[in-house]
Amino acid sequence: MKLKGVIFDWAGTLVDHGSRAPVAALLSIFSAAGVPIELPEARQFMGVAKKKHIENILELPRVRQAWSEFHDSPPSQIDADSLYAAFIPQQLSCLESHAELIDGVPHVVARLRARGFKIGTTTGYTRPMLDYLLAQAARQGFEPDFSVCPDEVPAGRPAPYMCYRNAIHLETYPLWTMVKIGDTPVDMEEGLNAGMWTIGITGTGNEVGLTEAEWEATPGDQQHLLVMGAEKTLLAAGAHYVAHSVAECEAILDSIEARIHEGDRP
| pLDDT (tens digit per residue) in 5-30 | 999 999 999 999 999 999 999 999 99
This prediction's pTM: 0.96
**% pLDDT > 90, the chain:** 100
State the catalytic residues: 9, 50
Q: Strand 178-182 relative to strand 5-8: parallel, antiparallel, unpaired? A: parallel
Is the pLDDT assigned to residue 37 strictly greater than 90?
yes
Separation CA 27–CA 232 (nearest Å)? 26
Residue 118's nearest CA partner among 160, 171, 164 is 171
Architecture (CATH level 2) of domain 5-19+100-261: 3-Layer(aba) Sandwich (3.40)
Q: How many CB atoms lie within 10 A of CB 196?
A: 26
Architecture (CATH level 2) of domain 20-95: Orthogonal Bundle (1.10)
Q: How far is CA 264 from CA 200, 208, 252, 258, in A?
A: 19, 31, 15, 9
Is the pLDDT assigned to residue 63 strictly greater than 90?
yes
* pLDDT-based confidence at residue 99 (cuts at 50, 70, 90): very high
Separation CA 253–CA 24 (nearest Å)? 33
Helix, strand, coil tally for the chain in percent (to 5): 55, 10, 35
Average pLDDT over residues 168-196: 98
Separation CA 37–CA 63 (nearest Å)? 7
For residue 115, which amino acid is it?
R
Q: Which residues contact 220 (CB under 8 A, 6 or more apart)?
A: none
String of DSSP letters for 128-193? HHHHHHHHHHHHTT---SEEE-GGGSS--TTSSHHHHHHHHHHT--SGGGEEEEESSHHHHHHHHH
Average pLDDT over residues 229-235: 98
Average pLDDT over residues 68-85: 97
Average pLDDT, the chain: 97
C-beta separation of 154 from 121 below 8 A: no
Is the pLDDT assigned to residue 254 strictly greater than 90?
yes
**H/E element holding 197?**
strand 197-201
* pLDDT-based confidence at residue 1 (cuts at 50, 70, 90): confident
Separation CA 25–CA 23 (nearest Å)? 5
Q: What DSSP designation does 246 have?
A: G
- pLDDT digit string, tens, across residues 106-165: 999 999 999 999 999 999 999 999 999 999 999 999 999 999 999 999 999 999 999 999
Domain boundaries, the chain: 5-19+100-261, 20-95
